[in-house]
Amino acid sequence: MSDQATCSLCGRIRGGDEDPAQTLAWVSTREKNVMRWMCPACARRHTRDIEGKLPDEYW
């Protein structure tokens, strides 16, 4: 995992000062060879969208 991951939805930056459990809760998605990261809050908010594999524009 890159230390400089940024949430693609809210812009939050994953940092070294986070609780290790929070750092592990970040979610990555890959679509058309593009890696995108979501912070734990956005991942929780969009769990059904992620599991349903809805295109991002429907979120």
Contact by Cβ (8 Å): 27, 50:
yes
Considering all CA atoms of the chain, what is the largest pairwise distance in Å, rounded to the nearest integer? 33
**pLDDT category, 58, cuts 50, 70, 90?**
low
How many whole angstroms separate alpha carbon 42 and alpha carbon 6? 12
Taking the domains of the chain in order of start, what are their residue ranges? Answer: 1-59
Contact by Cβ (8 Å): 6, 13:
yes
How far from 55 is each of 4, 16, 17, 23, CA to CA, in Å?
24, 30, 32, 25
Mean pLDDT of the chain: 85
Note the pLDDT tens digit of each residue in 15-34: 878 888 888 999 998 888 98
In this prediction the pTM is: 0.74
How many whole angstroms separate alpha carbon 6 and alpha carbon 3? 9
